[in-house]
Structure 1
């Protein structure tokens, strides 16, 4: 059980929230011990440090918006939003919106992007993200994204009949990729009637045919965000998995997307994502603390992901 949630959050992207999780303004949020506050401005979402620079009050609890300031609930001082030229201000962080998902990065250093901003622009129009699940999990956040790089768990935990390939390597912008192929009788997004027909055909003929061989391509843009393309070229689904560290472990979030002509598959994809995360949670929350690990060649993508995380810069100090 090697991965541990760092005391200092990393400087890369997080799937911080879904818009439906920001019903009030201001909305208090957190990444590990980093306290944040979110504000909505029409379709725009902005994220700031939450600690008042006067006496440390949390601006997300009782703070009041006035123009380009938040009025502190403790002493009533006006705290400027992201304007370091003002006497009292809080830092603003980069935010990307993709469908209903809100992504934030705890640094404005371009080195922390790893190509994610470009990827969102390329996906957003054809694949608007829809929330599938947001789930507290009592495990280090590192395990959630690492799962995309763990080939054997797909068979053992999620009962995928076969997995081939799963080779990991760096992408052009510093992201980490892993690519392979699943061997399945039929698409997991088919309706249950079609799945049952395929099962009965296999029984009658005593032959199992792996007629559905979807491509699996996952790209980790930070230790906290991975974007997966799943399916044949003409029927690709996009699944985004993220993890935000908390005091008790993390909050795991999954969002999914399909092209406009595939909307019939969306409910099954959402339900499948919920089921898969619930299956993972059972394993994660019963890992034996302090147990040694003996990784072998089949774990090479997992090792590559851990090296990717170890090389990721820590977030700057909150109080600037």
Structure 2
């Protein structure tokens, strides 16, 4: 996969904890952005001053619906193309601690994400789990959901079943199957130890816990996974944002029901551990190796074809 910096789909741009000021500089690859806080609302706009190219996120100050440029003091309107000096505004979707953005109004770029979030947001409010800088092409982060064999090899999942990819009703990419496990990984440590010793004594392993795995990629940079049986279902959102100098920021957020809050610390800790395990593999890949795919790679190939369907976007000033 060639390095790309921006496409017309969704990004998990930032967590609310990262928006430390009224105006926070952000970026999607070479596309410079600012996040502007207005109470609980967050707006995302281009950051490059149309006068002489200054970055409005470094020294710019808010005056009404404008940002005063730190270079020449011009008042730059926020998302008002009728004004002589203005910067473009982008579509934002807030879900709990997570802030998502689209850099294009291309209707093909949504893939049903906005509607899907409406069904999740109230029941599964997202909590920040982990953000990590990784020296790898950003698509690898989301691709992991479509790589069944890596769950066992990298993360020690005993087994999987099904895990077939298909196109969803809104053009998103879906993979669905089961994990084969002895018990829920969110059980307390004593119970897990009892089950382990029982398997050793009887020399029999029972896959009594078979949580459903349903992942939906809405862009090359955002995948939402529903994991677990109905009584303890939780939602995991994984995203990646290309960094200006290469590599990406990988982020994971977790959503659980109010009656499942006790599981949240283990879920957050597990997400951090898993991302660290993935980082070791990602940062030691040989980008020049010629892959030799087999039948187990069909979901990966489906994801790569899905990514190819997203057009790249030219950033203001010609950067990509």
Range of TM-score over shorter length: over 0.9
Which of 100, 123, 127 aligns to 2:124? It is 127
Question: Which residue does the alignment assign to 1:283?
Answer: 281
Q: Determine if contact 1:151/1:166 at 8 Å carries over to the other structure.
A: yes
Q: Determine if contact 2:180/2:209 at 8 Å carries over to the other structure.
A: yes
Question: Which residue does the alignment assign to 2:311?
Answer: 313
In structure 1, how many angstroms separate the alpha carbons of the residues matched to 2:307 and 2:161? Answer: 25
In structure 1, how many angstroms separate the alpha carbons of the residues matched to 2:316 and 2:124? Answer: 34
Instruction: Please state how far the C-alpha of 1:173 moved relative to its aligned partner.
Output: 0.6
In structure 1, how many angstroms separate the alpha carbons of the residues matched to 2:227 and 2:316? Answer: 37
Offset from partner CA, 1:254-296 (integer Å, 9 cap, x none):
0001111000000000000000000000000111231110111
Q: What stretches of structure 2 of length at least 5 have no aligned partner?
A: none
Number of residues of Structure 1 aligned to a counterpart in Structure 2 = 317
In structure 1, how many angstroms separate the alpha carbons of the residues matched to 2:151 and 2:275? Answer: 12
> Normalising by the residue count of structure 1, what TM-score does the alignment of the two structures yield?
0.97
Question: Which residue does the alignment assign to 2:300?
Answer: 302
Instruction: Please state how far the C-alpha of 1:316 moved relative to its aligned partner.
Output: 5.0
In structure 1, how many angstroms separate the alpha carbons of the residues matched to 2:38 and 2:133? Answer: 28
Q: Determine if contact 1:140/1:250 at 8 Å carries over to the other structure.
A: yes
Q: Are 2:12 and 1:15 aligned? A: yes
Instruction: Please state how far the C-alpha of 1:197 moved relative to its aligned partner.
Output: 1.1
Write out aligned runs for 1:198-217 (5 A).
198-217=195-214
Instruction: Please state how far the C-alpha of 1:147 moved relative to its aligned partner.
Output: 0.3
Which of 9, 13, 21 aligns to 1:24? It is 21
Offset from partner CA, 1:80-105 (integer Å, 9 cap, x none):
00000110100000000000000001
Offset from partner CA, 1:171-190 (integer Å, 9 cap, x none):
01110000011000011111
Instruction: Please state how far the C-alpha of 1:4 moved relative to its aligned partner.
Output: 2.9
Question: Which residue does the alignment assign to 1:36?
Answer: 33
In structure 1, how many angstroms separate the alpha carbons of the residues matched to 2:106 and 2:73? Answer: 32
- The secondary structure found in structure 2 opposite 1:213 is coil
Question: Which residue does the alignment assign to 1:168?
Answer: 165
Q: CA RMSD in A?
A: 1.1
Q: What stretches of structure 1 of length at least 5 have no aligned partner?
A: none
Q: Are 2:42 and 1:57 aligned? A: no
Which of 182, 189, 192 aligns to 2:189? It is 192
